[in-house]
Every structure is written in structure tokens, then in C-alpha cells.
Amino acid sequence: MRTLHHVPHHPPSRLVRLALAEKRLPVELRSVPIWERPEDFLILNPAGEVPVLRDREPLANEAHLAGAPGAQPPKLLTLCGASVIVEYLEEAYPQINLMGRTLAQKAETRRLVDWFMRLFDRDVTSALVGEKIDKRLSRQSVDSTAIRRGYKNLKFHLDYLGWLAETRSWLGGHDLSLADFAAAAQISTLDYLGEINWHQVPAVRDWYSRIKSRPCFRGLLSDRVPGRQPPAHYADLDF
Amino acid sequence: MRTLHHVPHHPPSRLVRLALAEKRLPVELRSVPIWERPEDFLILNPAGEVPVLRDREPLANEAHLAGAPGAQPPKLLTLCGASVIVEYLEEAYPQINLMGRTLAQKAETRRLVDWFMRLFDRDVTSALVGEKIDKRLSRQSVDSTAIRRGYKNLKFHLDYLGWLAETRSWLGGHDLSLADFAAAAQISTLDYLGEINWHQVPAVRDWYSRIKSRPCFRGLLSDRVPGRQPPAHYADLDF
């Protein structure tokens, strides 16, 4: 069985769950308390980070099932990190394309995945989610300056997201792509904390409403962080 | 002409220069003072970061040159960020493969590129190069605690790099790959500052000596940071 080691409120983990669900690839989820640095997990990924996907190599698997002469049993692959995993999924399971087809589309998808996974995370999520949830789970003291900086940066990032949503069908261009899932992974985590004032960002709300209504989103909307309930609108498709 | 907007002592810029040179793709280099946030550069990349590659779409270009009926003039692509650029180069110019051929090899190359570009950078380079060069260029005050933390992390990262170099032909496995160039981009920047004690890390030295001798490395070894000379061994192939 395909297994994803993840943290439920962690945007890179959410990006991978959305990509797997959109591609209709079933997966068993295993929540990892990474702040405790469990040794058996560090063997899988020496970086000590989620998400980590374990998957039987699909091409070898098909040859094996077909009983091809000299076929090797399928290798179990360990894929570390959201960008490594989504590149793998695009190549291993290309039937549903989430990257784009031309060089220009792929470059734009990857630019925006990097934007939301790295820049948005550095500017906003590491401050708001890092301080409000992660530090509580690992019993560290909270830095209120970081939280204020996170709110200031959130405004800039919502402006950029709103501009993309207003000028394009989906964030990366004409088609739904990993760019939308990367942004939705961040936004859904912040929305769980009640950090998005939806009345102030109508273009972002319209885009998020469309992506939130997709079947691939259901798993995320039923997640609960221990000891912290989401606002009433979190799982509401008509928020 | 292909153009790379870069910062000479910046590891992600160096990774892209090495990949371009190994693939024998000529490029015009333009050094960007990103700490001044020049407006014409922010139009190219709203993230305000180097490297940015501008390149004429190669496939369209070939059809255009061949005078194919209905061929469009080649589009000028703008590619933002080292990971976006190296993925593009692998697909647009596949004659020299630097990613690996199987799903497992590609995943390992991408894991190590991310390791050196993101983790090594966060743990070591942002502290040592960020404090010693970048802050001087942007006239900010230096944080000596960050520098001490950078040295401590450097030891851990050199141990891991040494383990990879000892147990594999190249860092990602049997073949030279972007994993080697990502690591060399970081190590060459630190070596310019004289931060690597080569006598303590013989396996890393053997690996670095092999990669430094390649023709693709020549451009990096002739770089100079204004106001800061490298140690005598920096450009010496027999260091």
C-alpha cells in the first residue's frame, strides 16, 4: 500500500494529499510527530521533514504483474519532500496532468509552487502557524513580533494571490494545476486558524470556493488539530 | 542570446551556471544588485530573487528555423529560481542528462538538490555568507551568534557530504548529476571565504577536486567578490 508520512496542518503535506487525491491515487496516511524527531522516521528522511511518500515503483510493478520474463519485483521507493513527491507523481502517474504541457506552463506551475511552498511559508505560515500551533505542540514560547510580521506579510501575499485569481482562470493559467494546490494548501491551513478575513478578499474567496468544492479537498476539511477547533465556515463549501 | 541574471557568490546562481556550462549552453551573465531591489528586475521576477534565466523556447525555435508552415516565432521564456531553471534545462536540452534516468535516480537527485539548496543554505550559507558578504554589501550590522551557529551546522553538513562522497561514485549515485553541482555551488562559495578546512574532510576534498577540475567549473573559479580576495588555493585544481 502507498503510504504518506505527514503532519495534518502542514502545507507541504497538504499539497501532496491534494495531488494524490486529484489523481485518484489511494494512500494510507501516517501522522508523524516530527517535533519529537522519531528515530525510525529519520532513517526514512535524514532531513527529519514531512511529507515522505513510500510507493511501489509503478512501471516495474506493471511489468511484474504482466509476468514479463526477467521482470524484477517492484522496488519500494521513498520520496522525501513535497517538490520531489509532486515531480514523481507527475511522471509516474501522468494520466491526470497537474503540471502543464508546454515548457512555459511547466515553468509557471513550478514558479508558483515554489512561491507558495517557500516564500509564502517563510513570510507568513512559519510565523502564524509556526508560532500558534507548532510551538504549542513542542512547548516552546511564542514570539509575538513574528506573529505581527506574519500578518503584515499575509496582506501582501493575499494581494498577489488575488491578482492571479482575477487575471487567470486558475492560478497558473488556463488549467487547474499544482500551483492551485500549493496555494490552497497554505490558505486552508490559515483558514483553519481563522486568519483569513474573507470579506476583504473577494477574488481569493471565489477561487478558494472553486477549489474547496473539489472532491480531492474532502480529506483536508475533515482534519482536526488536537485541542484546536476550526471556525464554523472552515468545512463549509458556501462560506 | 540566452541571459542569466545572477549574483556571482550566490549558490543557486552557481548551480545554474554549472548546469548550463556542463550542457555546453552559452549564456550572457548579468550581475544584479538584488539588495537594492531594482525595479526592472522585479518585473522579471516578483520574488526579487536570482537566478533568472531568459531563453528562447528551443522547440519552437527549431520549427521556426526549419520554416515549418504556421510556425510561430520562438517565445522568450523567463525562468525564475534555480529549481525551475534546472528542471527546464533538463527537459529543453536533454542531450546531456544531469537528473538521472529512472524514477528512483531522479527522486534522489531532486532530494539532494533540495538538501543543498534549501537545508544547507538555511543552516550554513545564510549564516556565513549572508552575514559576511551580503550584509556588508547592503550595509547591515553583522550577527555573530548566527555566524557561530553556521560553523556548528557546517560540521554536520560536511559529515553528511563526506558520507555521500565515500559511499557513492558521485553524490547522487553512479553518475554525475545536479546533486553534485548543488553541493559544489555551496562548497565553492564557502571555499571562496576560506571556510573549509580541507585537511579535516579528505573524502569531501577528493570529490570536490574531481568536480572542480571539470571545464564547467572554470567560470566560477575566476569570479571575484568586490573588496574580498579568495584564499590562494581557491582556483588551484591541486589544492
Contact between A107 and B84 using a beta-carbon 8 Å cutoff: yes
Q: For residues B225 and B230, give the distance between their C-alpha atoms in angstroms, rounded to a whole number.
A: 8
Contact between A110 and B160 using a beta-carbon 8 Å cutoff: no
Mean residue pLDDT of chain A comes to 92
Per the model's pLDDT, the better-predicted residue between A57 and A212 turns out to be: A212
- CA-based nearest distance A83→chain B, Å: 8
Query: What was the pLDDT predicted at B38?
Result: 94
- Are B140 and B80 a contacting pair, CB within 8 Å? no
Residue B41 sits at φ, ψ, to 5 deg, of: -80, -35
Q: What fold characterizes domain B103-217?
A: Glutathione S-transferase Yfyf (Class Pi); Chain A, domain 2 (1.20.1050)
Contact between B91 and A81 using a beta-carbon 8 Å cutoff: no
Count residue pairs from A and B with Cβ separation < 8 A: 67
- Are A186 and A120 a contacting pair, CB within 8 Å? yes
Q: In terms of Cα–Cα distance, which of A112, A147, A122 is closest to A132?
A: A147
pLDDT of B64 over the 90 cut: no
Segment among A187-201, B104-118, B202-216, B220-234 with least mean pLDDT: B220-234
Q: What fold characterizes domain A3-92?
A: Glutaredoxin (3.40.30)
Q: What is the pLDDT of residues A78-137, one digit of tens each?
A: 999 999 999 999 999 999 999 999 999 999 999 999 999 999 999 999 999 887 777 777
Rounded mean pLDDT, B64-76: 71
Sorted by where each begins, the domain ranges of chain B are: 3-92, 103-217
Selected for mutation to probe chain A from B56, B103, B114 (highest A CB count within 10 Å) is B103
Contact between B83 and A79 using a beta-carbon 8 Å cutoff: no
Query: What was the pLDDT predicted at A140?
Result: 81
Rounded mean pLDDT, B97-119: 97
Using CB atoms, which residue from B110, B118, B119 is nearest to A87? B110
* Sign of the alpha-carbon torsion through B37, B40, B42, B48: negative
Query: What single-letter amino acid sits at B9?
Result: H
Q: What is the pLDDT of residues A48-83, one digit of tens each?
A: 999 999 999 886 556 555 666 676 777 899 999 999
Local structure of B57: helix, strand or coil: coil
pLDDT of B226 over the 60 cut: yes
Closest-CA residue of chain B to A93: B103
Contact between A88 and B77 using a beta-carbon 8 Å cutoff: no
Judged by phi (left if over 0) then psi (alpha if -120 to 50, else beta), residue B81 lies in: left
pLDDT of B60 over the 60 cut: no
* Cis peptide preceding A11, ω within 30 of 0: no
| CATH assignment, A103-221 | 1.20.1050.10
* Sign of the alpha-carbon torsion through B9, B12, B16, B21: positive
- CA-based nearest distance A211→chain B, Å: 25
Contact between A111 and B84 using a beta-carbon 8 Å cutoff: yes
ipTM, two decimals = 0.93
Task: Report the percentage of chain A scoring pLDDT > 90.
Answer: 77
Q: Which residue has the cell 528562447?
A: B56
- Are B200 and B187 a contacting pair, CB within 8 Å? no
**Domains A3-92 and A103-221 alike in fold:** no
Residues in CB range of B124: below 8 A, 6 or more apart: B150, B153, B154, B157, B186, B190
Which residue numbers of A have CB closer than 8 Å to B's CBs?
46-47, 57, 59, 75, 77, 79-81, 83-84, 87-88, 91-92, 103-104, 106-107, 110-111, 114-115, 118-119, 160
Using CB atoms, which residue from B57, B88, B110 is nearest to A83? B110
Q: In terms of Cα–Cα distance, which of A213, A178, A192, A177 is closest to A125?
A: A192
Using CB atoms, which residue from A80, A92, A119 is nearest to B103? A92
Rounded mean pLDDT, A201-207: 98
Closest-CA residue of chain B to A45: B111
> Which grid coordinates belong to B115?
538538501
